[in-house]
Amino acid sequence: MSNNIATVRQVLIDTLADLRDKEKPMEVDRARAVADVARVLVDTAKVEVDYLRVTGQPTAPFLDTDAGNPALPNGIAGVRRHTLR
C-alpha cells in the first residue's frame, strides 16, 4: 500500500463503513480522530500543490495515485487571436 491521497480516501471510506456497522460500530471519538488526521493530511496536500505551482514542478509524490489514469490536459488546446480591422 502506498501512502498517497488515494490511501487517505480509502481510510475515510472504511471509517465511515465502520461507523455505520450496527453490529460492531466504531467509537465516535476514534472516528473523529481519524477525520482530524485526514484533515491535516489534506491540508498538507494543499501546501504541496501550492509549492508545485510556485516552483513549476509537474508532480508530487503524495498526490500520485495507484489508479494509473493519465494526467488530464491543462485545458488549453490552442490559441485563437481575433483582431479588429
- State the helix-helix crossing angle for 28-55 and 5-20, rounded to 10 degrees: 160
Task: Tell whether 81 is covered by a domain.
Answer: no
Residue 71's pLDDT band, with cuts at 50, 70 and 90, is: low
Four-residue CA torsion sign, 39, 9, 62, 31: positive
Split into its structural domains, the chain has a count of: 1
pLDDT at 29: 86
In a domain? residue 63: no
pLDDT tens per residue across span 17-58: 888 888 888 788 888 888 888 888 788 888 888 888 888 887
Residue 84 lies in a domain: no
Specify if 79 maps to a domain: no
Q: State residue 27's pLDDT score.
A: 83
Residue 13's domain comprises: 5-55
* pLDDT for 45: 80
11 in any annotated domain:
yes
Classify residue 26: in a domain, yes or no: yes
